[in-house]
Amino acid sequence: MRVAIVNDIVMAAEVLKRLVLTIPGCEVAWVAYDGAEAIDKCVADTPDLILMDLIMPHLDGAAATRQIMERAPCAILIVTASVSGNVSQVFEAMGYGALDVTAMPVLGNNPNSPGAQKLLHKIKMMHRLIGKEAESNVAAAQSALETMSAPAEDVPPLVVLGASTGGPLALNTILADIPSEFPAAFAIVQHVDGPFAENLVSWLNEQCPLTVEIAREGAVPRAGVVLVAGTSNHMTLTRSRRIHYTSQPESSVYRPSVDVFFDSVAQYWPGKGVGVLLTGMGRDGARGLKNLRDRGWHTIAQDQESCVVYGMPKAAVELDAASAVLSLDEIAKEIVSVASAETTPVGGAT
């Protein structure tokens, strides 16, 4: 895998270069010291992955990400000195197509430090994603689930959304158009590092009329509240309609996995609802969306024109998993229309 490095600090760029070269099969394609230089180099020589700094002179990482994804798209990992201190810029970059974000390791030459190991893990994960490595154990793990559904009872309609690359802005666009009093429960799986989920929730709460919360272990989806997967483990729904986190299947490239959550919802949510698969690289969520559709749910895939990356929705369309293929601006209206028809009195958790 050819990795490019964009960082305005020479020492930081050198640290990243040395870390990349410790990964078997990785080489450094080029180094740029600001966003404008990165665009020119990327157009001339598009790498497999860019490690993109966020705060730089002349052109910052978010703006550079936008232009690169328009002119020479490739995988981009934001590597910034302060994730929590640059939340708006991080989500802007992810909205333009950056896959993920992680903190820049403390400058030094120790590849075994916790920060360096976390970054190396992210790069290796990107390598697997870019290589479209099969998730051989995911289907096997899911086929082992019981197929018996929980008994039907009075519950709110549930809206489940899965997203990856470009997801934060897509989610914001949809949730901003849902009325605050709307009597449906919402649950989101966004491919994002567990600790960063808190920042995603805070950001969405600032933008949307609905209440957005981290989905805590044991929480029950409830009307008017948006629960967001809060760890790198997979979020699932149990027979008692409670949120549960699991590390299985450990082989999954996508963490948390949309497929794992959608499959558990199809099995255990006693009512009906709406499943939505948004922009993202890969195929995660397509099989789970098909499972929901087969159980009578209304399922939506985002259309190609409004996606940052038309990977996950495309896979869903190919599986005939989507009842409707809609532009991003149409999805909220469809959710409100369909979920309103499904609304029943809310009952307590079992």
**pLDDT tens across 66-84, in order?**
999 888 889 899 998 877 7
Stretch 28-51: mean pLDDT, rounded?
95
**Tokens 């409004």 found at:** 306
Q: Alpha-carbon distance 324 to 293, whole Å?
A: 11
Which residue in 284, 298, 306, 323 is the catalytic one?
Answer: 284
Q: Alpha-carbon distance 200 to 71, whole Å?
A: 28
Stretch 24-38: mean pLDDT, rounded?
94
Radius of gyration of the CA atoms of the chain, in A: 20
Mean pLDDT of the chain: 86
Ramachandran region, residue 71 (left: φ > 0; alpha: ψ -120 to 50; beta: rest): alpha
Q: Is the pLDDT of residue 144 over 80?
A: no
140-342: what fold?
A: Rossmann fold (3.40.50)
Q: Where are the domains of the chain?
A: 2-130, 140-342
Q: Alpha-carbon distance 215 to 203, whole Å?
A: 15
Q: Is the pLDDT of residue 134 over 60?
A: no
Question: In the prediction, which pLDDT does 113 show?
Answer: 79
Question: In the prediction, which pLDDT does 45 show?
Answer: 94
Q: Alpha-carbon distance 228 to 272, whole Å?
A: 20
Which residue in 60, 164, 298, 323 is the catalytic one?
Answer: 164
pLDDT grade for 253, boundaries at 50, 70 and 90: confident
Q: Do domains 2-130 and 140-342 have the same CATH topology?
A: yes
Tokens encoding 163: 């997203």
Which residue spans within 119-184 are E strands per DSSP? 158-163
Q: What is the sign, positive or negative, of the torsion defined by CA atoms of 51, 189, 340, 311? A: positive
pLDDT tens-digit profile of 155-187?
889 999 999 999 999 999 999 999 988 989 999
What superfamily does domain 2-130 belong to in CATH?
Response regulator (3.40.50.2300)
Whether this model's pTM surpasses 0.85: no
Active site residue 191: yes
Q: Is the pLDDT of residue 107 over 70?
A: no
Q: What is the sign, positive or negative, of the torsion defined by CA atoms of 283, 288, 292, 294? A: positive
Question: In the prediction, which pLDDT does 64 show?
Answer: 95
pLDDT tens-digit profile of 193-215?
767 888 899 999 988 999 999 99
Q: Alpha-carbon distance 279 to 313, whole Å?
A: 6
Tokens encoding 46: 């598009």
pLDDT grade for 236, boundaries at 50, 70 and 90: very high
Active site residue 164: yes
Active site residue 284: yes
Q: Alpha-carbon distance 330 to 341, whole Å?
A: 17
Q: Is the pLDDT of residue 345 over 80?
A: no
CA 276 to chain centre: 13
Which residue in 127, 191, 234, 298 is the catalytic one?
Answer: 191
**Tokens 């870390």 found at:** 19
Q: Is the pLDDT of residue 135 over 70?
A: no
Of 96, 99, 102, the C-alpha closest to 199 is 102
* Residue 345: cis peptide before it, omega within 30 degrees of 0: no
pLDDT tens-digit profile of 292-315?
999 999 999 999 999 999 999 999
